[in-house]
Amino acid sequence: MDRATTGGRGLRKWVPVEFVLGLGLVLVATILANAIPAKHAVIEDWPYPFRFSIDATWGGVGMMIGTGIGGLLLLLAVGAIPLGRFKRWKTKWRIAIPAILAACALVAALPPLATQAFPETYRKTPVPFDAISIANGVTLFAANCVLCHGPQAKGNGVLAKTFPIPPVDLLTEPHTAKHTAGDFFHWLTHGIPGTGMPAFSDKLSEEDRWDIVNFLHATSRGYQARLINPYVAPGQPYMAPQNFSYSAHDGTSGTLKDFRRAKAVLLVLFSWPESQSRLDQLRSAYATLRDNNTIVLASPLKDPAPQELATITTAMPFPLVVQGAQEIAHSYALFRRTLSNPDLAGEGTSPKHMEFLIDRYGYLRARWIPSVDGPGWTDIAELTRQIELLNREKEIRPPPDDHVH
């Protein structure tokens, strides 16, 4: 037999092996593709008890070591291919060594990237992330959860210490980033067996449970928002505040979203009579703000009595919310935290006056709380400078999503 035919036979012998290897790769790729659904894919019931997620496992020691080793093994696998050719390894080793290394890479990297999943994990919420939903969530949380989870969802309710594992800190820990909205829906619906976390499917409607999911997201965002201050950080829109609907004293009505791609919004949450001088100041500064493409929306933290309302709205040049104010107050109170006053103790406080500057793409960009930040925006020129910064920006990212994920 000459060398050519031996070589031919030798190669032919390996064809089934290569075929099986190829099939294996296709299988792995299929599992991977299925276990990480596209962001907007509609999935009713997720079939696996796990999913792969870099976000959810990021930062864990196991994940870092596993993916590190996995990456290294994968590099070695790729490197072994030219090395085998160069060193004239036998054909079986040329195939087997990279294949074994690649398989080890998957074995090392995949399990640490897996996180628990439920049939509801990729369920889409039908309830938009808005003030009505979140305000309802605030009420439901106060009525059903505080005994265990604490008044501010910090996991420090009076019963917290009675459980083998105390409830997690849902305020300052990034749980809403690590779990999908559907995961929260699952826990609220079925509880967590063996932990003391009860099921609420009998007690709360599906919509109520989604309202709580929205509330948990708003709570977590409110904690992130403590980094926001009276000064705009140019080019950094990241905080998506909830939409809201309102009717105003002047007969106008609409939603926060109506101003998108048109105007910046200065949302003024006020108390009466404490905020009187500030409202007077805004009244006289209104023309300047309006000329700077900004609308002022004033919304009372507590509904004023009718005769008070008459006084407040006298010669008021901008809309004052008369319907929807309570939902705005309750849901935007979650955005009261600042770096110097994260307000984590007990039930927390509620400032008497807060102003939010929302850019014309729908992102919360600056906030002034007089009781914490001092004089700040009482200097109208300073406020105008912040607005000018926003007006100079182009669209940096698309307007925020109306639903949590």
Tell me which stretch binds ligand HEC (CB under 6 A): 163-171, 305-313, 368-376, 392-400.
163-171
Q: Dmax of the chain from CA atoms?
A: 110
CB 246 within 8 A of CB 328: yes
* 148 contacts ligand HEC (rule: CB under 6 A): yes
Query: How is residue 237 written in tokens?
Result: 């829109």
CB of 167 to ligand HEC, least distance (A): 4
* 205 contacts ligand HEC (rule: CB under 6 A): no
* Closest CB to ligand HEC among residues 24, 191: 191
CB of 49 to ligand HEC, least distance (A): 16
* Closest CB to ligand HEC among residues 150, 362: 150
* 33 contacts ligand HEC (rule: CB under 6 A): no
d(CA 356, CA 365): 8
Query: How is residue 283 written in tokens?
Result: 């009244």
* 51 contacts ligand HEC (rule: CB under 6 A): no
Distance of alpha carbon 342 from the chain centroid: 19
- The site that binds ligand HEC (CB under 6 A) totals a number of residues, namely 23
d(CA 289, CA 264): 10
Q: Which of 51, 94, 123, 175 binds ligand HEC (CB under 6 A)?
A: 175
CB of 369 to ligand HEC, least distance (A): 27
Q: Which of 24, 128, 174, 198 binds ligand HEC (CB under 6 A)?
A: 198
Report which of 125, 144, 140, 196 is spatially closest to residue 166, judged by C-alpha positions.
196
Q: Which of 163, 252, 339, 401 binds ligand HEC (CB under 6 A)?
A: 163
CB of 156 to ligand HEC, least distance (A): 12
CB 300 within 8 A of CB 311: no
* Closest CB to ligand HEC among residues 216, 383: 216
* 196 contacts ligand HEC (rule: CB under 6 A): yes
* 144 contacts ligand HEC (rule: CB under 6 A): yes
Give every CB contact of residue 128 below 8 A, 6+ residues apart in sequence: 243, 402, 403
* 151 contacts ligand HEC (rule: CB under 6 A): no
* 184 contacts ligand HEC (rule: CB under 6 A): yes
Distance of alpha carbon 116 from the chain centroid: 19
d(CA 5, CA 117): 54
* 227 contacts ligand HEC (rule: CB under 6 A): no
Query: How is residue 28 written in tokens?
Result: 């792995």
| Window 83 to 142, contacts with ligand HEC (CB under 6 A) | 141
* Closest CB to ligand HEC among residues 97, 160: 160
* Closest CB to ligand HEC among residues 118, 141: 141
Report which of 230, 235, 232, 257 is spatially closest to residue 246, judged by C-alpha positions.
257
155 burial level (CB within 10 Å; 0-12, 13-18, 19+): middle
* 182 contacts ligand HEC (rule: CB under 6 A): no
* 167 contacts ligand HEC (rule: CB under 6 A): yes
Q: Which of 212, 289, 301, 369 binds ligand HEC (CB under 6 A)?
A: 212
d(CA 288, CA 266): 13
CB 73 within 8 A of CB 102: yes
The CA-CA-CA angle for residues 394, 395, 398, to 5°, reads: 180
Give every CB contact of residue 381 below 8 A, 6+ residues apart in sequence: none
* 147 contacts ligand HEC (rule: CB under 6 A): yes
Could you list the residues that contact ligand HEC (CB under 6 A)? 141, 144-145, 147-149, 159, 163, 165, 167-168, 175, 179, 184, 187-188, 192, 195-198, 200, 212
